[in-house]
Amino acid sequence: MANRAFSTGNGPQTKLSRCSSSVGDSGTDKTKVGWTSPRDIWRNLSLRRKAELQSKRELFFKSDTVSGGGVSASVPPSAAPPAPPSTLKDALSKRSATLPEPQETNHVEANGIATKHSNSVSVDVSKPPSTAPPPTPAPPVPISAPPAPVPTPLRSTENIMKKAEHPPVAPKPDLPKIEKPKTKELDGYVGFANLPNQVYRKAVKKGFEFTLMVVGESGLGKSTLINSLFLTEVYDKDKHPGPSLRVKKTVGVETSVVLLKENGVNLTLTIVDTPGFGDAVDNSNCWQPIIDFVESKYEEFLNAESRVARKAAPPDTRVHCCLYFIAPSGHGLKPLDVEFMQRLGDKVNIIPVIAKADTMTPEECKDFKEQIMKEIGQHKIKIYDFPESTGEEGDGADVTKSLRARVPFAVVGANTVIEQDGRRIRGRKYPWGIAEVENLEHCDFLALRNMVIRTHLQDLKDVTSSVHYENYRCRKLAGLSHDGKPHRTNSNNLCPQGLMNSFMTVWNPLAQMEEEKREHDLKMEKMESEMEQIFQTKVRDKRAKLKESEAELARRHEATRRALEAQARELDERQRALNAERAAWERDTGLSLDDLRRRSLEANSKETVDGKEKKDKKKKDWSFKSVATGISI
């Protein structure tokens, strides 16, 4: 890669501009041309230590997709470098050697070319020596280039994001034309060319997450392939037996998370498997739990994104890739395969995989692949479309193209390593030979692994985020269910003009407010009826209590009445007894009570009269005596 950068005719000039801008203390070196100073030799030696870091960076940026035309397009023709680095990767590999530390500034390969290039002169391009050719400084990275417009539209969206036939909601205002910024050459090293390094360091520190789903009937070699893909026991046989050992009557969705480390890069890998898929006698709707799982992850992400207090980057547990295992029947797709891929194709990146490819001859395998691709086309199934270019050029691009042509990947999985001719081979040993897993002549395992992990992992994540998740989000906000039908019977919140043009045309805030008001009214009505019910219950309770106390009162009244009647009867009885006693007494004495009463009255009155007469006489005597004596009373 670096060789490519230095193999250009004006390479030294390119290099010179880098050196002069990065060293910074080259005041004394500016005039030295053509010899190796001790300092340069020391630099070369120190740069060998950079080789390890460099390889890690390459590993990281291998999967980056960078528009190759961006650089050359941005450089004005007058100052066009003869062959500027065409990809960010190339530029980065050069720039990585120009980190601020003086001993790390030169870009030199750790090979024989090192000394030659380290003889470079630290010349300030702004003040070239009189003998030097006219300066044509070439920016090592596309420093001022505006990103070139992406020529290709989002993949796999045509079916959902159909262009509406109505005019846009609001006519576009005539905006003033924005002028393309002019490219300015810099007189020295500013430092923003180090940005890719910052991004790299941040990304490595944060780590990466990837969710891979495997779907297929049990026994097709899913767990074996996953272990082979990541060269480790992702499925620990004791703790986490493969799907075939967990066959269930109904389809289940299970996840297992492992943290993988490679050259200091951490990958949190989530494997989602679906034990029980396609194993029942009646497999209708066996895809539903899988659709529910995929959508629940989108829902989680949407909720995390729409929280008021949200994280800058919510955890991404969305399913980025689904390996769909096709049985090596040689007879094309089964109805279940078609149904599953049709239903999931616009929700997740499906990569079809022919399982146990060692059970077919190369010719059979070729025919089978053709048949499958034909059926995929016939049934309008959407599978993940590997982009032709990953930003690589030359051999890398050709390799990608040839690997892309191998879809659907016919794979062989094996967890055993066999020793043969001093070589350690991962493969399946048969009496007639070894089916090598990592041999492109035997199967497409390497193609699958390279495409999914090495070159297209980031693209899988990008497509998940920008196509499948966006579609889900759009459907969700438009109130549509996963089959595209309206969620609610009254879909007032959809714009009348159409549904699927863009978020703004789908979303109608006024209608949404009305909908919310309607929901609020319904809620109030419900509350009212609930309160009414509670009131009725209370009234019923009160009435029951009143009735009870009424009955109690009546009971007590009855008891009192009975007691009084008994008393009355007793009194009557006693009255009668008294009368009888009186009658008996009158009979015995011959007197009646009336006679007795009369006599007693008479006796009383006589006594009273006698007593009065005596009193009057006494009074008279007294008054006579007093008159005689002259005393008045």
12 versus 219: smaller Cβ distance to ligand GDP: 219
According to the binding rule CB under 6 A, does residue 244 interact with ligand GDP? yes
Quick check: 224 binds ligand GDP (CB under 6 A)? Answer: yes
Residue 534 CA to residue 542 CA, distance in Å, equals 12
CB 47 within 8 Å of CB 108: yes
> Toward ligand GDP, which CB reaches closer, 408 or 413?
413
Residue 219 lies near ligand GDP (rule: CB under 6 A): yes
Tell which one of 196, 242, 408, 427 touches ligand GDP (CB under 6 A).
242
What does the H/E/C string look like for 361-425?
CHHHHHHHHHHHHHHHHHCCCCCCCCCCCCCCCCHHHHHHHHHHCCCCEECCCCCCEEEECCEEE
| Residue in 193, 220, 234, 478 binding ligand GDP, rule: CB under 6 A | 220
Distance CA(269)–CA(230), nearest Å, equals 10
Binding flags for ligand GDP, 370-409, as an x/- string (CB under 6 A): ----------------------------------------
- The half-sphere exposure of 149 on its side-chain side, counting CA atoms within 13 A, is 4
Q: Work out whether 221 is an interface residue with ligand GDP (CB under 6 A).
A: yes
Interface with ligand GDP (CB under 6 A), residue from 46, 136, 256, 359: 359
Near ligand GDP by CB under 6 A: residue from 20, 65, 87, 218: 218
Task: Return the residue of 223, 283, 471, 501 that touches ligand GDP, per CB under 6 A.
Answer: 223
CB 272 → ligand GDP: shortest distance, Å? 13
Q: Which stretch binds ligand GDP (CB under 6 A): 69-77, 241-249, 290-298, 578-586?
A: 241-249
Query: Quick check: helix, strand or coil at residue 624?
Result: helix
Q: Which stretch binds ligand GDP (CB under 6 A): 98-106, 222-230, 455-463, 527-535?
A: 222-230
Provide CB contacts within 8 A for 339, sequence distance 6+: 287
- The whole-angstrom separation of Cα 229 and Cα 446 is 9
Least distance from ligand GDP to the Cβ atom of residue 531, Å: 57
Total number of residues binding ligand GDP (CB under 6 A)?
16
Kindly indicate which of the ranges 181-189, 239-247, 388-396, 397-405 contains the residues binding ligand GDP, using the contact rule CB under 6 A: 239-247
Shortest CA distance to 273 belongs to which of 290, 287, 249? 290
**Shortest separation between residue 356's beta carbon and ligand GDP, angstroms:** 4
- Which range of residues in 174-182, 185-193, 214-222, 480-488 is near ligand GDP by CB under 6 A? 214-222
CB of 371 to ligand GDP, least distance (A): 20
**Cβ distance 468 to 346 under 8 Å?**
yes
Distance in angstroms (rounded) separating the CA atoms of residues 343 and 22: 55
Beta-sheet pairing, 208-215 with 265-273:
parallel
Question: If you write DSSP's letter for every residue of 550-576 in order, what string do you get?
Answer: HHHHHHHHHHHHHHHHHHHHHHHHHHH
Among 40, 209, 339, 358, interactor with ligand GDP by CB under 6 A? 358
Which residues are paired to 266 by β-bridges?
Answer: 261
- Site map (CB under 6 A) of ligand GDP, residues 517-556, x = contact: ----------------------------------------
**Cβ closer to ligand GDP: 106 or 223?**
223
Q: Cis peptide leading into 315, omega within 30 of 0?
A: no
Residue pair 193/92 in contact (Cβ under 8 Å)? The answer is: no
Q: Which amino acid is at 506?
A: V
Phi (first) and psi of residue 551, to 5 degrees: -65, -40
CB 224 to ligand GDP: min, Å: 3
Q: What residues numbered 423-442 form the site for ligand GDP, per CB under 6 A?
A: 428
* Residue ranges binding ligand GDP (CB under 6 A): 218-224, 242-244, 356, 358-359, 412-413, 428
